[in-house]
Chain A
Amino acid sequence: MDFNSSLRIAATGLHAQTARMRVIAENIANADSAGKAPGDEPYRRRIPTFQANYDAEVGGRVVEIGRLAYDMSDFSSRYEPGHPAADESGFVQYPNVNTLVETVDMRQAQRSYEANLNVVTVTRQMLGRTLDILRG
């Protein structure tokens, strides 16, 4: 019935937000991962994308995590002549991850997750209240 569809669609939302959290965790953990040798590229930030797909079995448009795109903005460099990955002028390239931006993304992922949890809770409440009509 439609209650089950709502539950399953919300479950895909929860999966998608969990995957988004994983990408954010990767970005934050690797915020300082410069390369190992001169000329190596440091860690490049990844951005999760979502897409809506119609799922006939569930009976609605579910969300799925799409391509994990690379953020092609420039790397930042710092002057660290002693670093193994420093080039001739002593600059080391660091990942293009801004921890503040990632933290805000994390809050958004948390809010989206909570919204999907609300859908699950309210669907169950709706069914419970409907059945209460018969019990009363």
Chain B
Amino acid sequence: MAVSNTPFNAATAAYSNASRLINQAAKPTADLTATAPAAGGNFADILAQNVQGVVDQGKVSDQMALDMVSGKANVVDMVTALSETEMAIESMVTLRDKVISAYEEIMRMPI
């Protein structure tokens, strides 16, 4: 895969920067000024990874909801799991929208 400055790779780099910053924010002692790897990874791979994370959390929540209906789980655990899922989905959707709009803006640039 050529690491060139095509608009698609620029969007990929933006997305990988976003995921890297989220991960770094979780560990506040990391060096935030470190530069990102250029065009880090395939866009599809990164999106698939994040979607997989959300899907896994969603499975936990589904199981919780089923347990709740059958009377085994309790309200607090279910609400916590659903809140986490909701937060993960919201973050992913917002990031996806932003990256796609960045990509579209770059594509609109006149040659």
Closest to A4 in B: B84
Tell me whether chain B's interface is mostly helix, strand or loop, or mixed.
helix
| Interface bracket on B | 10 to 19
Expressed in whole angstroms, the Cα–Cα distance for A8 and B60 within the complex equals: 14
Q: Which of A10-18, A71-79, A85-93, A102-110 contacts B (4 or more CB under 8 A)?
A: A10-18
B59 an interface residue at 8 Å Cβ cutoff? no
Query: How many A-B residue contacts, CB cutoff 8 Å?
Result: 37
Find residues 1-31 in chain A having any chain B CB closer than 8 Å to their own CB.
1-4, 7-8, 11, 14-15, 18
Q: Which of A32-40, A46-54, A62-70, A123-131 contacts B (4 or more CB under 8 A)?
A: A123-131
Interface string of B27-69 (1 = CB under 8 A from A): 0000000000000000000000000000000000000000000
Pull 19 A–B residue pairs with CB atoms less than 8 Å apart, ordered by A.
A1-B25, A1-B26, A2-B26, A3-B87, A7-B84, A8-B80, A11-B79, A11-B80, A14-B76, A15-B76, A18-B76, A120-B79, A120-B83, A124-B83, A127-B87, A127-B90, A131-B90, A131-B91, A134-B95
A residues with a Cβ closer than 8 A to B are 1-4, 7-8, 11, 14-15, 18, 120, 124, 127-128, 131, 134-135
